[in-house]
Amino acid sequence: MKNNVRLLIYTALMTALVFITTSIIKIPIPFTGGYIHAGDMCIFIAGILLGPVHGALAAGIGSAMADFLGGYAQ
């Protein structure tokens, strides 16, 4: 039980880190409306530290939050 709570907290922290680095550190790409961001670095770190399932959850939720709140989701 204690390890499950710890893993859940680490997943939530990595989700927040992916969201913050994707939202704040971005370089717009002209003519496409997209951007290059530093969130990918945190996604790779989440995958390495948390494993494939929890790393994918942190990456997916953090990136989705950045897209929705940044106005890129259509």
Write down the pLDDT at residue 35: 80
Which DSSP string corresponds to 27-71? EEPTTTS-EEETHHHHHHHHHHHH-HHHHHHHHHHHHHHHHHHHT
3-52 per-position pLDDT tens digit? 899 999 999 999 999 999 998 988 888 998 788 888 989 999 999 999 99
Q: What is the pTM of this model?
A: 0.85
By C-alpha distance, which of 41, 1, 46, 47 is closest to 22? 41
Residue 26 three-state SS? strand
Domain containing residue 33: 2-70
User: Is 15 within 8 Å of 61 (Cβ atoms)?
Assistant: yes
Helix axes 52-70, 2-24, angle to 10 degrees: 40
Instruction: Take residue 50 and report the two structure tokens written for it.
Output: 């948390």
pLDDT range class, residue 67, cuts 50, 70, 90: confident
Write down the pLDDT at residue 41: 92
User: How many domains, the chain?
Assistant: 1
Residue 74 has pLDDT above 80, yes or no: no
